[in-house]
Structure 1
Amino acid sequence: MALDDDMREALDMFITEARDLVQGLEEGLLELEDQPGGGETVNAVFRAAHTLKGSSGLFGLQHLVEFTHVVETVLGSVRDGVLDVTPGLVSALLPCTDHISAMIEGLAGGRLEPDAAQAADGARLLAGLEPYLADGSAMTAGPVVAAPDAPPPEMAWRLVLHFGEDCLRNGMDPLSFLRYLSTLGTVTGVVTVTDRLPEAADMDPESCYLSFEVDLVTAAPKTEIEAVFDFVREDSDIRITPAESQFDTYVRAIRAMPENDRIGDVLITSGAVTELEMAEALRIQQERVVREGNQPVPIGEILIEQGIVPRAIVDAALTRQRRTTETRSQDTRTIRIDAARLDKLIDLVGELVIAQSSTGIPNSAGPDTSSEAQGEVMRLVDEVRHSALSLRMVPIGTTLRRFERVVRDVCMELGKEVSLVITGGDAEMDKALVERISDPLLHLVRNSLDHGIEPAGERRKHGKAQQGTLRLNAYHDAGNIVIEVADDGRGLDRERILAKAIERELVAPGTTLTDSEVYNLIFEPGFSTAETVSNLSGRGVGMDVVKRNVTALRGSIEVETARGIGTTIRIRLPLTLAIIDGFLVGVGPSSFIVPLDRVTECVELPPGPLGRDCMNLRGEVLPFIRLRQIFGVPGQPARRQNVVIVEQSGQRTGLVVDSLLGELQTVIKPLGILFSRVKCISGSTILGNGEIALILDVGPLIAGHSDREQTRQAVPVG
């Protein structure tokens, strides 16, 4: 079905509204599960499904109409009092909202009809709703068990098994692994590879030279096949890849997946790659960056190089990733605006035009009146700027409420009881920030549920309530927005974290670290203290991504924990990425801007510093950084230099500059791709005289200086 321009524009409006309706439908179902008697909530979710169905019909989206009609019918039975709300009913309906959302995102991507995989998924979900559609026979007040899912389809796999030479010495029999594979499915072919066999005279009877290529057809997931070889994995080369006959199946599954802009998540969700394989690929990528110092090799190339997944499947995942990125970049161009805010902006522009015209009319009253008119223009310009920026501000509560579903699903998987408490949902921040902070928050929430909050039995043993509490809180603080993820769980184990860091050679034995430095080790790549690996965490993948993403948003992250009481992770972000309040400083002919929320005070550099890079500040030793040296600014320093004292994560540091030029509100201009690897600069701006000033990124600047100082002190003298 082809759409003309007018129809396409109308469909775009429908997609925007449909996303809101699906979100309201999901939130309403979660609320109903907590409060089954909520009559208004029942009416709201029914109206959402009804509106979705009706609007879909206007565009001839029959697949969406038919699926939503069944959901609406079930909700109608709930509204009429024929069907009670039970955990089973909510568990059957929530995946339906995911499916509707996937169909809507398919429309956004230009797919007006579902593909085979999506249609099969829809049929499976509708089968789960059948018990609730019977003529009252299944609509009892007690718990209703949904129809079981259809058995997973059988898949063909190619296993390349190079057993290590010490396999026999370690008591392992390679043939027993092949025999066990036949219990998982059907072994359709085995080829013995003898290219490692030495000459008879050189053969060691205790060494294993066997290799096999095995074709296996099984319904077991890749993780289960992988687990067969856990005992020989360390000294053997085990590669499990989809058979060529299955390439099309994986490609179709990837194309039908919901949006995801991370290729790793796409490959893991499709089943082509396990989390263990992805963690190993990430480790190899990180080692290469440290060893070679180059840009990271794309993770897809490493997976192909290691023989973990074929190129055809990686290419399909890359295509899915690019399409998602393009769709999201288009979505960020559209934002819903409160009409009152838009009216205020229009009024201000009108006043500005009147004030501007008055400055150009000669006035017999003299220059004072002209100066007053110019002052009025400047005031209105400032108000227009603030009003325009406020159009981008949205409440963060919508994002935080999405985690109700995450908490419910994770708790069901882990068998834990956790209540989610959300406060501060009215706090506003830039829409671009809201979208980009969702993934880091997801990692933190899942980590708190899996590692932080204990199982019910352990909580009772320590005198705690059986039900744990996870709190999401947002509030404004000194020109920033702070988002807290707090749990009342077991807290972080300082000694265990430190021991693990020493074991991984992140910290030298005997090093004295503050509590803050120890707890920040959890954000190191690949770091994990989990004793067991679960579907949620334990592989050391995630927390480093959280810190990297928060830092990229000019934010900081802090950890506050108490053993046995709980942990609070606090993310501090600027309210907007478009404009900041800055403090302008001069270093020779160059100008720099320090974010004003990081500045605590300014003092004159004393003539006799305590040492090379520190000074006495009212009895306190204050380290400082000479911006002239860091950025290689030519010329001699000023006779009287100043120190701008900044604070980052509780650490105070001075920035030595030639001159203090005052506060100003700065419109941030992003740096070009040529400067993408510059770590101490977050952007630039154009000053009133037309010159360019660089905006300092205080966090990396201080961290980089500390690393250089430690390296300098570690070098032996003489």
Structure 2
Amino acid sequence: MDMAFARQVFVEETEELLALIGSSLLDEHSGKAKDDPQINDIFRAVHTIKGSAALFGFETLVNYCHELENLLQQARDAELAVNQDFCQLLFEAYIYLQQQLLVLQQGEVPIEDAAYLHQLARFKAMSVMVPDATEPVNLAKDNRFSLVFYYSPQLFHEGADPAEHILFLQSQGEVSDIQLTPDFQSFFDPLLCYWQLSLTLQTSLSREQLQASFQFLPDASRLDIQPVAEGSTPIPFIAGREQALPDMPTPIKPATKTEALFLKVEAKKLDLLINLIGELVTQGASADLQLRMKNYEQLEETFSGIQQLVSDMRESALSLRMLPVAESFRRLQHLVWDLGQSLDKQIMLKISGGDTELDKGMLDKLADPLLHLVRNAVDHGIEPPAVRLKAGKSAAGTLTLSAAYEAGTVLIRLSDDGAGINIAKIREKAISIGLIDASQHLNDEAIYQLLFSPGFSTAKAVSNVSGRGVGLDVVKRSIDALRGQVSVNSSLGLGTIFEIRLPLTLSIIDGFMCRVGNFKLILPQSMIQECLAFEQQKLQQQMLMLRNELVPLINLDELFNFKAQRNARQQLIVVQFGPTKVALLVDELFGELQAVIKPLHPLLRPVKAVSGTTLLNDGSVGFVLDIPALIQLATSYEKHELEEDTRWQERADD
């Protein structure tokens, strides 16, 4: 077995289990005992981490999880109240396990450091009932049982170990008559379990309590518990799996939702598949052009079906990388809770649209921007309870994080009901650091964009949460790298809204091809509203009236300096990104195509509003337009032209 690969699998599974623990912690409330499914979920996750860690010899992690299990068992047995102190301790344990996961991800081994010893001391202080396995058990041992474990060969793979079962039973009473009976098959696999275990236990626990203690025994394994009368001899254990299993009551499990099955696929394999399909799309488009020139109608019809299959393959392959945003959103709940505690603020995070899907690569790169936005909202947005009550608000602030599809993009919105943004303070700060001139007149949107400038901050003091002017700058750069757009809207005293718009994927798009001069341009089809034709003399203004709506007109020829020849009749493509709608002036329309986006050459990366290139069916290169960046570029271009006209007018007046 490749131990490096096995360790990587362990790290990934531990990460998933920690996510489950974190989600369960946030759903936990005071006063719930052993019937609480959240405690059971946490217990099961910790138990699995412990068993898996034992396979790799991570003794520190095993011991830690064992002590945490003892504490959770007390809560399940209603010996400990699941109150605020208990939840706080579990949250500290969750943070510690996350830190150990980072250690494992770096290829190191967890050690017994100060944090480890501190956590164990906290567990001991909280624990009041469960005896330590190394100490003598002073309980009335009125009950005597014979226990027989029928282990599955896959026991070790499922994170269980017979030695752990013996140690646990020794902590609950006196163990005797231990028998380990081997049952080898015709071949030996060191990763399989070939043992069956029988023993006698003198304990104060009842049969039902013992059965409940082993309810997380792997499903393929069985445990038989039979009472032994005083003075009688336990029934000897008979080796061999061919014997009939003893009769035992089968617990009735409550109906649960069908668990979804997930297939783990290495990302680079999916990337290779998507690239190959992209090349197939290009070849198919080229063959389509040749067939139309030969005018083979029947072949065209057949080939049309092939193209549809290729399109379906592409959609299927891309969907493998699409993941719901819910898990990424839920991880922020821990951050909000922890920051609220450290800042003495009461904050509730509401999540909606968690089933909205994004490319996995984009989700990973979205983690940092969302982290900074949430920290900013908690520290600067939500007021302390006393301030909120004085303003007539509830003591607890609310953050709302949502996701939805909008015009071929994914819209992620983070809003708070806090103090809002003071535009006057932003402007004053920007002038004081030389970011803008005092004579400049900016609208609200332009002033909000100053928040994303490197080093810009209106905080009066630097804290361990924020105040250095780094967070929003990181947000802006990260979203730009994803070909997205971030915007801000705020009402003083009512709250602030941050909106992030992202493309669904960065690989292949359904595009629409047009020509401006000698250049062929590709636009994302999902952002196109309509195509129109106008007489050239009607397109002399910068605004166009479409169905009683004023739409800005962008002349791509002038914007990119293509030097195209103007026709008497011009073509317009109306595109929309978010709430913004613009009309693009082009020379010729070609129609739909599937575009495989390739990154720009390093020499071309400074070119704005172009997100990549694609190879067309005639062998030429088309440029894929970045619509959000195009709108921003056109806006800044018009603003520059207006400023130039104003300067010339002022000089003429002088």
Q: What TM-score does the superposition give when structure 1 sets the normalisation length?
A: 0.63
- Single out whichever of 581-590 and 640-649 deviates more from structure 2: 640-649
- Verify: 1:54 aligned to 2:48, yes or no: no
In structure 1, distance between residues paired with 2:31 and 2:623: 54
In structure 2, distance between residues paired with 1:526 and 1:643: 41
1:7 alignment partner, one of 3, 6, 13:
3
- Kindly provide the amino acid, as one letter, of the partner of residue 21 in structure 1: L
- Verify: 1:658 aligned to 2:587, yes or no: yes
- Verify: 1:477 aligned to 2:406, yes or no: yes
- Verify: 1:77 aligned to 2:74, yes or no: yes
Aligned residue for 1:85, secondary structure, equals coil
In structure 2, distance between residues paired with 1:92 and 1:586: 64
Q: Does the CA-based 8 Å contact 1:526-1:539 persist in structure 2? A: yes
- Kindly provide the amino acid, as one letter, of the partner of residue 421 in structure 1: K
Instruction: Return 5+ residue gaps in structure 2 as ranges.
Output: 132-264, 278-295
Aligned residue for 1:538, secondary structure, equals coil
In structure 1, distance between residues paired with 2:101 and 2:449: 40
- Single out whichever of 663-672 and 422-431 deviates more from structure 2: 663-672
Deviation of 1:563 after TM superposition, in Å, equals: 2.5
1:617 alignment partner, one of 532, 545, 570:
545
Aligned residue for 1:534, secondary structure, equals coil
In structure 2, distance between residues paired with 1:632 and 1:424: 42
- Kindly provide the amino acid, as one letter, of the partner of residue 96 in structure 1: A
The match for 2:285 is: none
Deviation of 1:28 after TM superposition, in Å, equals: 1.6
Q: Does the CA-based 8 Å contact 2:419-2:495 persist in structure 1? A: yes
Instruction: Check 1:35–1:521 CA distance in 2 against 1; reply closer, same or farther (3 A cut).
Output: farther
The match for 2:27 is: 31
Instruction: Check 1:628–1:370 CA distance in 2 against 1; reply closer, same or farther (3 A cut).
Output: closer
Count of residue pairs the alignment pairs up: 493
In structure 2, distance between residues paired with 1:120 and 1:468: 36
The match for 1:130 is: 124
Larger Rg: 2
Deviation of 1:397 after TM superposition, in Å, equals: 0.5
1:496 alignment partner, one of 425, 432, 446:
425
Q: Does the CA-based 8 Å contact 2:517-2:563 persist in structure 1? A: yes
Deviation of 1:8 after TM superposition, in Å, equals: 2.5
Q: Does the CA-based 8 Å contact 1:53-1:69 persist in structure 2? A: yes
Deviation of 1:630 after TM superposition, in Å, equals: 4.1
Deviation of 1:332 after TM superposition, in Å, equals: 4.9
Deviation of 1:469 after TM superposition, in Å, equals: 1.1
1:443 alignment partner, one of 361, 364, 372:
372
- % identical aligned pairs: 38
In structure 1, distance between residues paired with 2:36 and 2:592: 54
- Verify: 1:109 aligned to 2:106, yes or no: yes
**Where do residues 367-446 of structure 1 align in structure 2 (5 Å cutoff)?**
371-446=300-375
- Kindly provide the amino acid, as one letter, of the partner of residue 646 in structure 1: V
Aligned residue for 1:400, secondary structure, equals helix
The match for 1:120 is: 114
Instruction: Check 1:382–1:86 CA distance in 2 against 1; reply closer, same or farther (3 A cut).
Output: same
In structure 2, distance between residues paired with 1:540 and 1:710: 27
Instruction: Check 1:484–1:498 CA distance in 2 against 1; reply closer, same or farther (3 A cut).
Output: same
- Kindly provide the amino acid, as one letter, of the partner of residue 20 in structure 1: E
- Single out whichever of 574-583 and 444-453 deviates more from structure 2: 574-583
Q: Does the CA-based 8 Å contact 2:58-2:110 persist in structure 1? A: no
In structure 1, distance between residues paired with 2:399 and 2:526: 29
Q: Does the CA-based 8 Å contact 2:74-2:130 persist in structure 1? A: no
Deviation of 1:479 after TM superposition, in Å, equals: 2.0
Deviations 1:493-542 (A, max 9, x none): 23333333344444444544333333333222222233333322223221
The match for 1:518 is: 447
In structure 2, distance between residues paired with 1:630 and 1:48: 57
**Where do residues 67-216 of structure 1 align in structure 2 (5 Å cutoff)?**
67-111=64-108, 113-114=109-110, 119-135=113-129
The match for 2:396 is: 467
- Verify: 1:20 aligned to 2:16, yes or no: yes
1:669 alignment partner, one of 568, 582, 598:
598
Q: Does the CA-based 8 Å contact 1:606-1:615 persist in structure 2? A: no
Q: What TM-score does the superposition give when structure 2 sets the normalisation length?
A: 0.69
**Where do residues 492-571 of structure 1 align in structure 2 (5 Å cutoff)?**
492-509=421-438, 511-571=440-500
Instruction: Check 1:449–1:71 CA distance in 2 against 1; reply closer, same or farther (3 A cut).
Output: same
Instruction: Check 1:36–1:540 CA distance in 2 against 1; reply closer, same or farther (3 A cut).
Output: farther
The match for 1:238 is: none
Instruction: Return 5+ residue gaps in structure 1 as ranges.
Output: 138-329, 336-341, 349-366
Considering only aligned residues, what root-mean-square deviation do their CA atoms show, in Å? 3.3
Aligned residue for 1:402, secondary structure, equals helix
In structure 1, distance between residues paired with 2:431 and 2:569: 45
In structure 2, distance between residues paired with 1:371 and 1:604: 30
Higher relative contact order (CA 8 A, sep 6+): 2
In structure 2, distance between residues paired with 1:105 and 1:333: 23
The match for 1:455 is: 384
